[in-house]
Structure 1
Amino acid sequence: MASVDECREALHQLAARLDADAETGGKLDLDRTLACRVPDLETAFHGRLTGGRLVGIADGDDPKAKIALTAASDDLIALVTGKLDATRAIASRQVQVRANPFDLLKLRKLL
């Protein structure tokens, strides 16, 4: 099981990757609040996807988040590092994403 700090670092790595993608034109066209829940650690993080970037990453849940990702700590890290295929993980319910259908289509670029 990964630690809370490792999960936090993985989210910051994802934010850095999105920053690099946004600078090269691979912009994710969303402006939504995001919650990332890690049930095995009984913790959560939240932030905002805006302008192709993930900003304002902080500890704690956002129950009103428009997009919610739920994953075990090891799965979250594997997903962010590319060791876990997002499509398969979501299809097998290893990772759960709650968002409206249009946002899910846009999130394919992220995952």
Structure 2
Amino acid sequence: MATIEECRAALEKLSDNLQTAEGDVRTAAALDRSVSCHITDLDVTFVGRLVDGRIEVADTLQGPPPEKAQIRLAMAGDDLVALVNGELNFAKAWGSGRVKLEAGLKDLFSLRKLL
């Protein structure tokens, strides 16, 4: 089971990857939205913002997110690490329910470019 530190490191790596992306991926990552990522097996939530192609984690909270972020992710810690390391396909994980992504329709259309 991934630790809180490994999950935070995975989010930082994801943020670095988004920052250096080009084309459609760069455009999709350029949103300015509140973000939460609930790590279900650790019952902790990382909250922050997606700004200028970077995920800025502002806080780590116990339990599910206290407020509804504009972009919400939920998954096990091992799945987050595997996704960021390219060992787990996001679309397949989302389709099978291993990863949950919730956002407004407009944001979902923008985020699909990241897949």
Measured against the shorter chain, the TM-score band is: 0.7 to 0.9
Unaligned runs of 5+ in 1: none
Partner residue in 1 for 2:16:
16
Query: Per the alignment, in what secondary structure is the counterpart of residue 40 of structure 1?
Result: coil
The answer on whether the counterparts of 1:48 and 1:55 sit within 8 Å (CA) in structure 2 is yes
Q: Distance in 1 between matches of 2:58 and 2:11?
A: 8
Q: Distance in 1 between matches of 2:18 and 2:10?
A: 12
TM norm structure 1: 0.87
Q: Distance in 2 between matches of 1:88 and 1:73?
A: 17
Pick aligned residue for 2:77 from 73, 77, 82: 73
Q: Distance in 1 between matches of 2:48 and 2:5?
A: 16
Q: Distance in 2 between matches of 1:15 and 1:58?
A: 15
Instruction: Check if 1:53 corresponds to 2:54.
Output: yes
Q: Which amino acid aligns with 2:54?
A: R
Root-mean-square deviation over aligned CA pairs: 1.7
Deviation digits for residues 30-81 of structure 1 (CA, Å, limit 9, x no counterpart): 1110000011011110111122222244312452311110000111111111
Aligned length: 109
Unaligned runs of 5+ in 2: none
The answer on whether the counterparts of 1:29 and 1:106 sit within 8 Å (CA) in structure 2 is no
How many percent identity over aligned positions? 42
Instruction: Give the alignment of 1:84-99 within 5 angstroms.
Output: 84-99=88-103
